[in-house]
Structure 1
């Protein structure tokens, strides 16, 4: 039986949408806040006009119910690329969303074909923070693949969940998108905390900051006060066909974006090797290791938005007698590797703007509070993690 989603308007099946590639790409401008020139477009998906699947909430709900969410998500990405590539004047940058629930699927042959054809613009794949705890390993692997084509990644909706701040240094995106809720409540303590952490990360990595939900001139002032370079919202244009974009393109926009770094999200070496290359070694007595694990527990207990990633080989676990799950404290997300690193113990804990890692191999122990090093250890661990 055809899988329909009938709400009283023209009925259409999700199968027909997929078979006929009936997703319509609309585009919303992203502008440079000081000049209001368009630096990029965000591709947004719509179903057949006038149908019950025209709007994205129903379109994606129907795909989820039918078990074809991955196919729809990939089609939306493809159609956004096709639309931008067919435009008489290509945008400087194209932003496209990834659905967190299917972030672990491989790129489709059609999408690979489009990316390999060498579009004149760079594509930025947006992850929402919902993808971070769900499929962290797949997220990093996909980021690595996107970078191979010269493209970039963005972290979307930053500020909705404090945990997104913990993943910022792990993903190290080229673009950070502040959620519109921060614009609506700029004086809240949470907003100021998010803005401070994002500013520090942008200063450290060269990431560009976009504020979403700019609807008024006052919103624009607030966005700049929160540290945004670029902005998006109804003040600059609603989603529509490409020919409705009313501000001129900024040809220098792509140059403002950090250059791609193939291999960054899949660092070579083990967690211990990564840490030992940047921090001093000391003797791994049982007392020293137990003390460091207690320190990890204490750090996790201070903040309920931290993320703990841990791996411990069976031989070391038997020697220490400390279950890894006990290290979680109040951590928001705890990821224990299902494929431990042979002969090593590694624990990385990351919060909003801070981190700590403890690694052990043989008779040596390396610990560090240097956030880039902790993030690199976490990347190594997460690339080994296979469970959702």
Structure 2
């Protein structure tokens, strides 16, 4: 990351999901990655670049229940839009950008393409979970889906969860690992900010984000482990492979991504509108730039214990910005809203413009708007604002 005003990469740069050949240790690649190759991978990514992956749901307007997305994705025939694991889920993967605004613009354009392809009977929504459904759903047909269903059974059929995933590149392996631990400490604050899934199965769960509860049925979810070195990471991936899984199943809420040489932030609930997405993404990008600078200045603290972050993470999914988070070192309790406002103030000098839009999300949380709408109105509203 850099603190200079970025520029968009050339338009012929391939989409994020196809921007690199599979690295060794990734499904379809050579069998193993050693520490030296990992350092090369994470030092080779374009510093300051950003890309999004956004998971969405297709629903029938007559019932607001899930619809199979296969035909729509095939008709679109756009490499940026693909099917996901559940049959009703699709994903947008943007190109690689050096400008968050450009990435958001591409995301908005892709949403518009999807909305136009839906016709009168279907609608796309950006919902972290389906508000009216709680149970197994059909899966998209593929060899990978079959393999996952064999490994994880019915649990994999229940993973109708959608997140906004940000890929951040630093162009330096040491910086990447250092920022990984700094962002890891802040996962609860980011989750509280983005919490937008109070409903599931036609009921209010009392949580601000039920998505991670659903996701926790699978292993390797939630707060990721400390990675002491690239040697340790290589050993961990090799150990995972011996159990029959691979790096794509390292499903933590933050992970080094082996295809792109990025940090992939996976803690954020998908947002109903691209305006909300823009606010959160601009903040995260600026925050990462600040953390990268602090790494080079030697100002980042050692990683905190995983269980302490997990304690704050639970408060975040329950209470969102209305909760209190404990300082990971001292144990001092502070309102999550105050923590977020302090982070926004610290990140703003690294942003391209004001971060007042993300301050507004702290003061007027998306989850509270969803509750004000009520369960009967929430899915039609999500469809209405999909291209906003």
The alignment's TM-score, normalised by the length of structure 2, stands at: 0.26
- 1 or 2, which has the higher helix percentage? 2
Kindly name which structure, 1 or 2, has the bigger radius of gyration based on alpha carbons: 1
> Which structure has more RCO (C-alpha within 8 Å, separation ≥ 6)?
2
- 1 or 2, which has the higher strand percentage? 1
